[in-house]
Structure 1
Amino acid sequence: MKLIKPRLSFWQIFNMNVGFLGIQYSFGLQQTAINPIFLYLGAPEDMLPILNIAGPVTGLIIQPIIGAMSDKTWSPRWGRRKPYFLIGALLGSLSLFAFPHSPILWFAVGLLWILDVGNNMAMEPYRAFVGDKLPEKQLSLGYQMQSLFVGAGILLANGSIVLFQYLFGGESVEEAGTIPQWLYYSFFIGAFLSLATILWSVFKTPEIPPTDEELEEINEIKRLPLSQRISQPFLEIVKAIKEMPSFMWKIGAVYLFQWYALFIYWQFTTPLFKLTLGFSTSEAASQAAKMSLTYNIVTMLVALALVPLTLRFGGKKVYALSLVGTAIALFVIPYISDPMLVLVPMVLFGIGWAAMMGIPYTMVSKIVPQDRRGVYMGILNMMIVIPMFIQTLSFGPIYKYFLGGNAINAMLFAGVFFVIAAFLAFRLNESKSNNEEDTLVSSIENH
């Protein structure tokens, strides 16, 4: 039986996605502040990829399991997806509060593992949450709204780093093994937002109850012996992979190169500016934050504008061209020696980031079964973390032995991978939907 979902207003979709703000603020800190903290605590540059292995490993394990579990969860009081992103937000909030107090490198690395567990618990069911609530004609608007909050969350994270470094870091002297005081404040804000924004969405957005058939299946699982209940999510993941639509295999090929390249960018922006601009670690970290600030402003501005573009020209074309633009940005950044001019390529990067954070989820959500959306969103996110896992294991030696330990070469390497990702994206075959264009465009124009 096909579930008929009510059409939601613009502000209902907005409130549903507010929780993504806190999750992405946390990811923004990971992109910009975690690696400088590792450097402050004495980590060598070629160790940065392996120190970041927590993200890929926890994403690979946590996201598909939580997705499968949330598909088979229902509480009349708490819902289906909400219990998982509430627990994840609490873990993330506590980790962010503790992170700047790290006394040694390995303490910070351990906290990163806990933080990534929390973030992955919160984010995976959130992707499915939007697909659960929205009719197919509003999926594009729903996921691009998430893209907007991706930009907003990372924007706030990096804006806070730039602001606090400007206000409190100008006269500070870097000490080996010590995290600057000005970095503390950004983490404390993140600890608050991580929980507060999730609570906003939880109380503002009720979940759609399962159908009678789904509820009976959930109750059958509850009646199983404990050992079978524990194994159930793993069996569901294996079954879902075996039956996975061919489109998802193709998007996995795009993701392999896209996310490998993104992880290089995030890890080596600070070392790059130490080399190309002659900055100290603090100055380079602040410049990296300005770069992230710029592209996430662009992401916020263009996220919803991409909805009518994808409907007119197709998600595949808009997505692929955005990856080409991101490649161009990475090719030119290493050759700009002015700290203001180097922000200009971030316009292309921001358009690419807006597309990456919305369009693939819209395309996948249209082709997967409603009652397995959680596990398939988890598998889609596995396709993000597997490239990251490969990158953390492989790029350290590549950087050291083949790229000469040179951050400029690392950025160019990432640009080449984006070109490959764009070529593969052009080869995707989209799922078509009837009468979607008028509904979505009017939804944006009327609000």
Structure 2
Amino acid sequence: MARQRLTFLQIWNMCFGFFGIQIGFGLQNANTSRIFQTLGVDVNHLAILWIAAPATGLLVQPIIGHLSDKTWGRLGRRRPYFFWGAILTTAALLVMPNSPTLWVAAAALWIMDASINVTMEPFRAFVGDNLPDEQRATGYAMQSFFIGLGAVLASALPWMLTNWLHVANTAPPGEIPDAVRIAFYVGGAGLLAAVMWTVFTTREYPPEQLQAFDVEERRFGPRQEPAPSINAYIALGVGGVLAGLALAAIVWGARLEKELYVLAGLLLAFGVAGVAGARFKRLGRTDNGFSEVLEDVFRMPVTMRQLAVVQFFSWFGLFAMWIYTTPAVAAVHFGATDAASKAYNEGADWVGVLFAVYNGVAALAALLIPVMVKVTSRKVSHAVCLTLGALGLLSFLLIRQPGLLWVGMIGVGFAWSSILSAPYSILAGALPARKMGVYMGVFNFFIVIPQLLAATVLGLLLKTFFGSQAIYALVLGAASLVIAALGTFAVRDAKPA
């Protein structure tokens, strides 16, 4: 018994929902800093306001993955989460550009990211559930294609509305421009339609059939790590609590940036989770969602642990780009730091176009990456793409003509496409099907933790070492991508029997 190979149209329908999801992410990534600065945020405080998005993902994705592993109903296993998440995300997209104050915008960002995570997390497991190993590279590449396509539309929408339909891209101080507001409305409608297409045009294997696939492929058992001991939980708990308290004391004593308290709080949270896990295990009360997810974290397959390093540095680089490209380009290439000025908004619009370029390249690269994988391997292909991304980010420091910045976006597009496909293609073959959802959610830790780290330290690094010049955040992002590329070669890419 094995998973059936799917046709091109079936894979297309299965992945089409990501077109809509990335419309939401694209609008968020390209416009959130602009909205925050319009509402009066200083560039040094942008990162801390972005922290809601990764923090939400850290909590939501493992929970949704765990729940979807245990769900089976009229809409299947993963699709109920696509359905309700899309509805909530659309509502948040309508609210955010109408935020009258900074805190309303920050709350809208938090709700939007929670809803997007409810929709997105099961999509990763969805491909792993439905495709045989030899088609997973194609399936995740198809997701990358739709991600790129959706982000092109989302990133360029404000620019298109301004230049093609003459919608105003400036507004009085403290107000969101009409071009941004209408872009969010159009994006919400597109997201809802695309996700619903996948919900109603695809089917899923029932849980018992997925378990039979595990037995046939001999993936369940040999790849499962030993159950953690009480001492392992205690070590996590004590280590996390001590590290969190120590960092908080250093921040307070040295009067460092308050953003570092967030990192201290994250360490404390992990410590408390370890203490709670030890307590539940000692009492024999491990048949609950919290204990199951915590145990799964300890029992991560070796391949997943190795990929965690690659993901960490990949997403640190991406988050640096998303937060600081708008202020960097506005300041260096358009000579503007005032968010209400015409030059700043022209720079912000141009960043939207640049983001559209890298996402468009990512869509095309998704068609080339499976060929690169066949010629080399999944690891070599991923390392090459990450290196191209590093060169692309570095080009922002070297190229001073705004009209030529798109050249660097070619490399970023290849990196983005591969980051969205290669790690998941490698990972899916190392996971038991009955745990596919929760492990895909736990894998999100290594996307979220570097984002939280970036949000807490990038502003401090720029202020301390680079005179608050946002362009150097992109240089740090390039260095991070190089480290990720080198780490790829240490990953064990084992195919199922």
Residues 85 and 119 of structure 2 are in contact (CA less than 8 Å); yes or no, is this contact kept in structure 1? yes
Aligned to 1:260: 316
Q: Any residues of structure 2 matched to 1:219-234 within 5 Å, and which?
A: 232-234=288-290
Of the three residues 192, 198, 202, the one matched with 2:199 is 202
Structure 1 residues 116-151: Cα deviation after superposition (integer angstroms, max 9, x where no partner): 010000000011111111111211111110010110
Quote the offset at 1:430 in angstroms: 1.4
Instruction: Work out the CA distance in 2 between the residues paired with 1:212 and 1:149.
Output: 29
Quote the offset at 1:155 in angstroms: 0.7
Query: Identity of counterpart residues, as a percentage?
Result: 38
Structure 1 residues 184-214: Cα deviation after superposition (integer angstroms, max 9, x where no partner): 1110011112211111001100111121796
TM-score normalised by structure 2 residue count: 0.81
1:428 is aligned with what amino acid? Answer: V
Residues 23 and 119 of structure 1 are in contact (CA less than 8 Å); yes or no, is this contact kept in structure 2? yes
The structure showing larger relative contact order (alpha-carbon pairs under 8 Å, at least 6 residues apart) is 1
Instruction: Work out the CA distance in 2 between the residues paired with 1:109 and 1:281.
Output: 22
Quote the offset at 1:171 in angstroms: 6.3
Aligned to 1:335: 398
Residues 169 and 345 of structure 2 are in contact (CA less than 8 Å); yes or no, is this contact kept in structure 1? no
The answer on 1:272 being equivalent to 2:269 is: no
The change in CA–CA distance for 1:172 and 1:198 in structure 2 (over 3 A counts) is: closer
> Which stretch shows the higher mean deviation, 362-371 or 132-141?
132-141
Quote the offset at 1:231 in angstroms: 7.0
Of the three residues 154, 157, 161, the one matched with 1:160 is 157
Aligned to 2:302: 246
> Which stretch shows the higher mean deviation, 399-408 or 113-122?
399-408
Instruction: Work out the CA distance in 2 between the residues paired with 1:89 and 1:203.
Output: 13
Instruction: Work out the CA distance in 1 between the residues paired with 2:168 and 2:141.
Output: 41
Instruction: Work out the CA distance in 2 between the residues paired with 1:140 and 1:45.
Output: 39
Of the three residues 183, 189, 194, the one matched with 1:186 is 183
Instruction: Work out the CA distance in 2 between the residues paired with 1:172 and 1:158.
Output: 14
1:281 is aligned with what amino acid? Answer: Y
Aligned to 1:59: 57
Quote the offset at 1:174 in angstroms: 4.1
Instruction: Work out the CA distance in 2 between the residues paired with 1:171 and 1:59.
Output: 34
The change in CA–CA distance for 1:45 and 1:361 in structure 2 (over 3 A counts) is: same
Of the three residues 117, 124, 128, the one matched with 1:127 is 124
The DSSP-based 3-state class of the residue aligned with 1:61 is helix
2:437 is aligned with what amino acid? Answer: G
2:182 is aligned with what amino acid? Answer: Y
The answer on 1:324 being equivalent to 2:380 is: no
The DSSP-based 3-state class of the residue aligned with 1:103 is coil
Aligned to 1:223: none
Instruction: Work out the CA distance in 2 between the residues paired with 1:316 and 1:181.
Output: 44
Q: Which runs of 4+ in 1 moved over 6 A?
A: 212-215, 228-231
Residues 36 and 281 of structure 1 are in contact (CA less than 8 Å); yes or no, is this contact kept in structure 2? no
Quote the offset at 1:242 in angstroms: 1.7
Quote the offset at 1:281 in angstroms: 2.6
The DSSP-based 3-state class of the residue aligned with 1:14 is helix
TM-score normalised by structure 1 residue count: 0.90
Aligned to 1:218: none
The change in CA–CA distance for 1:164 and 1:399 in structure 2 (over 3 A counts) is: same
Aligned to 1:394: 457
Residues 272 and 334 of structure 1 are in contact (CA less than 8 Å); yes or no, is this contact kept in structure 2? no
Instruction: Work out the CA distance in 2 between the residues paired with 1:229 and 1:114.
Output: 32
Of the three residues 138, 142, 151, the one matched with 1:141 is 138
1:39 is aligned with what amino acid? Answer: Q
Aligned to 2:103: 106
Instruction: Work out the CA distance in 1 between the residues paired with 2:460 and 2:193.
Output: 41
2:136 is aligned with what amino acid? Answer: L
Instruction: Work out the CA distance in 2 between the residues paired with 1:19 and 1:99.
Output: 22
The answer on 1:362 being equivalent to 2:362 is: no
The DSSP-based 3-state class of the residue aligned with 2:175 is coil
Aligned to 2:29: 31
Aligned to 1:296: 359
Aligned to 2:482: 419
Structure 1 residues 148-194: Cα deviation after superposition (integer angstroms, max 9, x where no partner): 01101101101212201324668665422110111111100111122
Residues 67 and 375 of structure 1 are in contact (CA less than 8 Å); yes or no, is this contact kept in structure 2? yes
Instruction: Work out the CA distance in 2 between the residues paired with 1:168 and 1:180.
Output: 14
Instruction: Work out the CA distance in 2 between the residues paired with 1:417 and 1:79.
Output: 39
Residues 165 and 183 of structure 1 are in contact (CA less than 8 Å); yes or no, is this contact kept in structure 2? no
Aligned to 2:91: 94
Quote the offset at 1:275 in angstroms: 1.7
Aligned to 1:345: 408
Residues 403 and 410 of structure 1 are in contact (CA less than 8 Å); yes or no, is this contact kept in structure 2? no
2:350 is aligned with what amino acid? Answer: Q
Q: Any residues of structure 2 matched to 1:365-384 within 5 Å, and which?
A: 365-384=428-447
Instruction: Work out the CA distance in 2 between the residues paired with 1:213 and 1:271.
Output: 48
Instruction: Work out the CA distance in 2 between the residues paired with 1:400 and 1:293.
Output: 29
Instruction: Work out the CA distance in 2 between the residues paired with 1:213 and 1:350.
Output: 34
